[in-house]
Amino acid sequence: MTLRFRDDGTFRILQVSDIQDGPHVSEDTLQLIGDAVREADPDLVVLTGDQIRGYDPAYIDTFISRRGDRPGDHVRVVSRLEAAIEHVPSQRELCRRNTLPAPDEDTLMERTRQNVRSTFSQFLGPIAAHGVPFAATYGNHDFQCGIDVDEQDDLYREIDGCLNPVAGSGPLALEPGTFALPVLSSRGERIAMGVMMVNSGDYTLDGDASRAVPSTGPVSSGAHPVVQGRGLDLVDSDGYGVPSAAAIDWLADAEHELSARNGDGMPVPAIAFQHIPTQEFYDCLREVPWWTMNAVEGTRAFSGRCFLLDETVCRPGSTLGESVNCADINVGEVAAMRHAGGYFALFAGHDHKNAYVGHAGGLDLGYAPTCGFASYGPDADLRGVRLLTFREDNPSAYHTRMITWGELGGGAVHDKLRVFLGDYGAADAATVRNQLRRPKVAGAIGVAAAGLLSAIAAHRRRQ
């Protein structure tokens, strides 16, 4: 399938991020995706990772916390708790209850494979129904279901409209989740833009700085070594991953390949999409005192510092709802894009409450928040997808906006409690402090404190 600009010189991409659901995808998520596709009329949908909620109770038998684990050996406490609440026993437990032979690993993996296939068909249904092609990369939770991303690539390609190439099939197809899609001009005589999908990795061990390069941005240069990561089971411990060394080198190779196909030696304007943001996303923020309302606290390499959006570099309508949860090290990805030429933007997901677009390090750096309703995120009305509209004569001067549940008139969600807990829940001390800096939370605490003091005073007067 060939991508090309429309006759009116425009090309539209819909970024869908962090669906993060199990085999029974939320009705609200499916409605949001379907309504957004109708509203946006995109030429391409990009899925930027964590489509699969790998820690869902449905995958408790094949769950892999980190690469190298044996399936089912290190299931998170929160997954076991959720399974108990929802009465979802493991297959091994079911067999024990019914005095049946325990299922072998192949049987369990096949069950997971069918669940993943079902999840894909559900959330891609509204996209395929409108005949829109799609491309997918991967996040830090997709592989945790036990089906690795190379096999997930095969499952995606079973669905009409999938543009994920077979890894290694050409210079534009490096590895699962890392590939380039040329977009032809409206007349089809040249490549007018490149869409680069990058697999940003999943996790790395604390203290692994073997590929680190210095950050040079006004904020990101202040990253400090991580002495001890978070160890709570409620949140991800160890550091987040980075693109492979081959992927960093490929960024320039892919750009040069597109230029060579045009035959004029000129850089081809290119935008990249991936899951985990780079450290440079902090350069779209400004450091503020810890008591500043709405400030968010940095994590790991940026812990101990608080931030707000830097309005001087961020576009109007940008929102910051949580910290930038990037890798502990900078592997030079943004620098590689800048040196390659042609690249004008990098968009990520991963941080479900963030929806800002800023300019730092010579590139636009932007987010799409979660569009799902099965994991944490902002208020229901703010969950959504990002539309980017490019013009053939100058793709870097693109227009972008959010299409949200609230804008689409989605109304009340089916699982109000889950959405509320996903917005106001706290998994560690830093997120507790972030919640206390929210005006609604601080106001509620103030009202409660005033009421308590008033009651105490009234009691004393009666004595």
Angle at 151 between CA 145 and CA 153, to 5 degrees: 105
Q: Both 371 and 453 in a single domain?
A: no
Distance CA 156, CA 133 (A): 12
Q: What is the pLDDT along the chain (463 residues), one digit of tens a residue?
A: 899 999 999 999 999 999 999 999 999 999 999 999 999 999 999 999 999 999 999 999 999 998 888 888 878 777 777 777 777 766 666 566 556 566 888 999 999 999 999 999 999 999 999 999 999 999 999 999 999 999 999 999 999 999 999 999 999 999 999 999 999 999 999 999 999 999 999 998 766 777 878 888 888 888 887 755 545 555 565 689 999 999 999 999 999 999 999 999 999 999 999 999 999 999 999 999 999 999 999 999 999 999 999 999 999 999 999 999 999 999 999 999 999 999 999 999 999 999 999 999 899 999 999 999 999 999 999 999 999 999 999 999 999 999 999 999 989 999 999 999 999 988 788 889 999 999 888 788 777 777 877 777 777 777 6
Pair (366, 443) in one structural domain: no
> Is 436 found in the same domain as 392?
no
294 with 440, same domain?
no
Query: Could you tell me the CATH number of the domain that includes residue 367?
Result: 3.60.21.10
Longest dimension (CA), the chain: 91
152 and 290 belong to one structural domain: yes
Domain of 67 in residue numbering reads as: 3-427
End-to-end C-alpha distance for the chain, whole angstroms: 82
Same domain, 195 and 83: yes
- Same-domain status, 455 and 380: no
Residue 184 DSSP SS3: strand
Global confidence as pTM: 0.94
Distance (Å, whole) CA 340 – CA 247: 13
Q: Are 5 and 97 in contact (CB under 8 A)?
A: no
> Do residues 432 and 415 share a domain?
no
Say if residue 375 is in the same domain as residue 450.
no
DSSP symbols for 308-353: EE-TTTBPTT----S-----SSB-SHHHHHHHHS-EEEEEE-S-TT
User: How many domains is the chain built from?
Assistant: 2
Residues 461 and 344 in one domain: no
Same domain? 238 vs 151: yes
